Amino acid sequence: MKIRVGHLYPDYLNIYADRGNIAVLAQRAAARGHELDVRAIGRGSEVPAGIDLFYVGGGQDREQALIAPDLAAKAEPLREAAEADAAFLAVCGGYQLLGRFYRDLDGDELPGVGLLPLHTVAGDRRMIGDVLLDCEWAGETLAGFENHAGRTVLDAGAEPLGRVVDGFGNDGNSGFEGCRYRKVYGTYLHGPLLPRNPWFADRVLSDALAHAGASPELEPLEDALERDAHRVSAERARTRGGRY
Amino acid sequence: MKTQVEASPGTVAAVRPPIPLAVEAAAARAAGALSRLAGRGGGTTLPGKLLWKVDPAAIDRLAARLPQGTVLVSATNGKTTTTAMAAEILRPRLRVATNASGANLVSGVASTLLRSGGAELGLFEADEAALSELATRLRPRALLLCNLFRDQLDRYGELEHVAARWRKAVAGLPDATLVVNGDDPQVGDLARGRPGSLVFGLDDPRHARPELQHAADSKYCLHCGAPYAYAAAYVGHLGDYACPNGHEARPPLDVAAREIDLRGLDGSSFTLATPGGDTRVDLVLPGLYNVYNALAAASLALTLGVAPEEAAAGLRRFSAAFGRFERIPIGDRRLLMLLIKNPAGTNEAVRTIVDGGAPRLAVIALNDAIADGRDVSWIWDVDFEPLAAGLDRLIATGSRASELALRFAYGGLPRERIEVVPSLEAALDRGLELTPPRGELTVLPTYTAMLALRRIVAGRGHVAQYWASAA
């Protein structure tokens, strides 16, 4: 089955090794006989119909400010896709911009897509370090690295991606990280996220397959390196995550 | 050396009666000697740390004693090599105090000043984040600024923040001579409207890359955000750029490297084109990035009154800065060690190695201490693929060995060709075992892995520990 991936602004939002996440999805799809068809969606271009998985990465402040108005202008087709259960994976800056707005230290706001029930306000100290999340909804953990000045506040009743075991998370004190809505996943975790969290890569692939009308079942892979990388990353979070 | 983030000096000094500088200095030097005796490394920064804690302004007074003043060099990549090259050029003329072991925070510069009695000129490499503080304290007569790449975002924050600090440092030094790399849009922009500045860059499109590398950073117009059009992109976002909407373009070059000749791992040469005439420069060091380093060092030397031929002679004498590019004989085999620390620098290391004949075996060491960057995501921004394409075997080592292995596995290297050997010593031995007699083993370590590997081979009697020559 061909899985159609729309990679939003790959030239601008690529600071935290986002292409690593794409490479993982492509290889894990190929190992199960599926094919990833990745197309870039840039400034000024239309959101193509029939995308099974949208990917939005992280950028530096300057790059995010350059693309935010364009992304907000694409809000309607993106929201429609989300309601039709297309999968989304949004990391760091991309995660913030799927919310309603991002307000910087001067009080200026970047518009968001409004797809996720949250908003983000810049703080003065960056929250940097290794993170471990407990994702009870999946019975799994996620290990990654966070580096963000933004404090993300979820709306009442919104589902986080996970509970922070070690690290800062969305805002450093809620005890939660990321957000999950239908098949939309937003998170600050990079590292990149997917190589050392293969269960999550497969979850995103399954969702995309389901949207494409195929069976979401994926046979397990060996993942010995992946498990080891997860173990080391989780250990780092335990010993040095969540500290200024 | 990027090992520590310094705490601010305490307030104690402000209320204590001043201690004579000579007494402070002697006490701090004694601490350095003790540190070396205690086997805690070279003692390169401890005296300066103590001095800075006791009296933060002492470094200003020590610097003020240098009759020829000071010069600061900063960049994301190449600052250690560039500083060492400039020191070599100036050595026949002047007694130069320089932080040769890369101790480039305020404490390292203070330590260098402490043991540099009789020096005439201070030539200091400055950590990108420490540039502003060092500039305020030392009031340098010249600033050499070479490049800004994404690097250790977990430590430096975003590139834009470092650039803002640099702009502030430059604005605070209206009389200093600026020597800048015009090929880097953010860096070249610092000299705009500043008479007396010197702008250098490459002028040889034959060595341009067909397209911007993945990790290219400052590639959007500073005014309108449109992607720059590149007539030639040399290293990362460095090149001959222009805004398609008619905003800024690369400034005219005062000093350029032309007719560049890269000879794989065996060195490089170029024509140093200056207002005072052209001269040919031969380097033992390989790669286009070392052409940039040499060009930067020569440009700085020119502003200090050195003739082009003199600069070329100094560069010819130069071998390598500590740990950046080394060949170390081990019995009947040899190590080729290139430091890797961020995407742009690693891309150039990869390009240089592959140009020298792609190796079939490599040891790559990824550590994640503070000096390496705790965030290892940068390895996914490196274009390792040209190296991976030729590998029969990769030995992944270091504290994040499995992460590195995943980078190559998902980059397309078959997993059966990857060995994960977290212990650096075991990985080195495995690499040597797989290297035929008289062969060369390619080793790419991050900073602390490089230090550890050097200690291992030094312990076996193969290479001098670096601080023996750095004092």
Q: Which of A130, A229, A240 sits opposite B406 (nearest CB)?
A: A229
Provide the shortest C-alpha distance from residue A229 to chain B (in Å).
5
CB atoms under 10 Å from CB of B439, counted, come to 13
Q: What is the mean pLDDT of residues B371-389?
A: 93
Read off the tokens for B150. Answer: 């994404």
Q: Which of A128, A147, A229 sits opposite B403 (nearest CB)?
A: A229
Q: Which residues contact B77 (CB under 8 A, 6 or more apart)?
A: B146, B147, B149, B151, B289, B341, B342, B344, B345, B348
**At A229, which helix (H) or strand (E)?**
helix A224-240
Q: What is the mean pLDDT of residues A218-224?
A: 96
Q: Is residue B23 scored above 80 in pLDDT?
A: no
Mean pLDDT (chain B) is 86
Q: How confident is the model at residue B319 (pLDDT cuts 50, 70, 90)?
A: confident
Domain spanning B325-470: CATH 3.90.190.20: yes
φ, ψ at B155 (rounded to 5°): -110, -40
Taking CA atoms, B127 is separated from B75, B103, B331, B410, in Å, by: 8, 9, 37, 34
Q: Is residue B467 scored above 50 in pLDDT?
A: no
Provide the shortest C-alpha distance from residue B60 to chain A (in Å).
30
CA-based radius of gyration for chain B: 22
Whether the CB-CB separation of B350 and B387 falls below 8 Å is answered with: yes
Q: Is residue B4 scored above 60 in pLDDT?
A: no
Residues in chain A within 8 Å Cβ distance of B409: 225
Whether the CB-CB separation of A222 and B409 falls below 8 Å is answered with: no
Whether the CB-CB separation of A180 and A97 falls below 8 Å is answered with: no
| pTM listed for this prediction | 0.80
Number of A/B CB contacts below 8 angstroms equals 86
Q: What is the mean pLDDT of residues B342-362?
A: 91
Q: What is the mean pLDDT of residues B398-422?
A: 97
DSSP B78: S
Domain total in chain A: 1
What's the confidence (pLDDT) of residue B120?
A: 95
Say if the Cβ atoms of B227 and A11 lie within 8 Å: yes
Q: Is residue B53 scored above 80 in pLDDT?
A: no
Checking B431-439 for CB contacts under 8 A at 24+ apart, the result is B431/B361, B431/B363, B431/B395, B432/B330, B432/B333, B434/B361, B434/B393, B434/B395, B435/B333, B435/B361, B437/B332, B437/B333, B438/B332, B438/B333, B439/B333, B439/B334
Residues in chain B within 8 Å Cβ distance of A236: 368, 374
Read off the tokens for B457. Answer: 């081979």
Residues in chain B within 8 Å Cβ distance of A62: 158, 160, 220
Q: Please report, for the domain that includes residue A15, its CATH number.
A: 3.40.50.880
Instruction: List A residues 26-65 in contact with B (Cβ-Cβ < 8 A).
Output: 27, 60-63
pLDDT tens-digit series, residues B85-116: 999 999 999 999 998 767 888 888 888 888 88
What's the confidence (pLDDT) of residue B104?
A: 84
What's the confidence (pLDDT) of residue B10?
A: 35
Whether the CB-CB separation of A60 and A11 falls below 8 Å is answered with: no
Q: Where in chain B is the domain with CATH 3.40.1190.10?
A: 12-317
What's the confidence (pLDDT) of residue B245?
A: 93
pLDDT tens-digit series, residues A22-66: 999 999 999 999 999 999 999 999 999 999 999 999 988 888 888
Strands B70-74 and A184-187, sheet pairing: unpaired
Whole-number Å distance between alpha carbons of B109 and A110: 42
Q: Is residue B32 scored above 70 in pLDDT?
A: no
Q: Where in chain B is the domain with CATH 3.90.190.20?
A: 325-470
Whole-number Å distance between alpha carbons of B360 and B441: 9
Whole-number Å distance between alpha carbons of B432 and B418: 16
Q: What is the mean pLDDT of residues A217-238?
A: 97
| Stretch among A206-210, B7-11, B42-46, B101-105 having the lowest mean pLDDT | B7-11
Strands B198-202 and B121-125, sheet pairing: unpaired
The H helix count followed by the E strand count for chain B is 18, 17
Residues in chain B within 8 Å Cβ distance of A147: 153-154, 375
Checking B329-332 for CB contacts under 8 A at 24+ apart, the result is B329/B462, B330/B432, B330/B457, B330/B460, B330/B462, B332/B437, B332/B438
Q: Does the ipTM surpass 0.90?
A: yes
Provide the shortest C-alpha distance from residue A138 to chain B (in Å).
24
**If you measure CA to CA, which chain A residue comes closest to B226?**
A66
- Expressed as residue numbers, the domain containing A172 is 2-240
Say if the Cβ atoms of B403 and A195 lie within 8 Å: yes
Length of chain A as a residue count? 244
Which of B406, B417, B421 should be substituted to probe chain A, the one whose Cβ sees the most A Cβ atoms within 10 Å? B406
Residues in chain A within 8 Å Cβ distance of B377: 16-17, 20, 145, 190-192
Read off the tokens for B325. Answer: 């590019």
Taking CA atoms, B328 is separated from B41, B127, B354, in Å, by: 21, 28, 19
What's the confidence (pLDDT) of residue B3?
A: 35
Q: DSSP H helical segments within B65-151, as ranges?
A: 79-90, 106-114, 131-138
**Percentage of residues in chain B having pLDDT higher than 70:** 84
* Per-residue burial over B43-82, b = 16 or more CB atoms within 10 Å of its CB, e = otherwise: bbbbbbbbbbbbbbebbeebbeebebbbbbbbbbbbbbbb
Whether the CB-CB separation of B405 and B380 falls below 8 Å is answered with: no
Residue A11 sits at the chain B interface (C-beta within 8 Å): yes
Say if the Cβ atoms of B381 and A232 lie within 8 Å: no
| Stretch among A1-10, B57-66, B294-303, B330-339 having the lowest mean pLDDT | B57-66
Read off the tokens for B1. Answer: 């050396």
B12-317 is classed in which CATH architecture?
3-Layer(aba) Sandwich (3.40)
Say if the Cβ atoms of B380 and A11 lie within 8 Å: no
Q: How confident is the model at residue B52 (pLDDT cuts 50, 70, 90)?
A: low
What's the confidence (pLDDT) of residue A191?
A: 76
Whole-number Å distance between alpha carbons of A217 and A232: 29
Residues in chain B within 8 Å Cβ distance of A146: none
Residue A226 sits at the chain B interface (C-beta within 8 Å): yes
Q: How confident is the model at residue B357 (pLDDT cuts 50, 70, 90)?
A: confident
Q: Is residue A111 scored above 60 in pLDDT?
A: yes
CA-based radius of gyration for chain A: 17
Give the number of C-alpha atoms closer than 13 A to the C-alpha of residue B108, restricted to the C-beta side: 24
pLDDT tens-digit series, residues B193-223: 899 999 999 999 999 987 777 666 778 888 8
What's the confidence (pLDDT) of residue B7?
A: 39
Q: Is residue B464 scored above 90 in pLDDT?
A: no
Which residues of A are marked as active site? 92, 190
The C-alpha angle B243, B249, B251, rounded to 5 degrees, equals 175
pLDDT tens-digit series, residues A140-166: 999 999 999 999 999 999 999 999 999
Residues in chain A within 8 Å Cβ distance of B380: 17, 19-20, 23, 192
Whole-number Å distance between alpha carbons of B186 and B168: 13
Say if the Cβ atoms of A225 and B420 lie within 8 Å: yes
Residue A221 sits at the chain B interface (C-beta within 8 Å): no
| Stretch among A125-129, A214-218, B13-17, B180-184 having the lowest mean pLDDT | B13-17
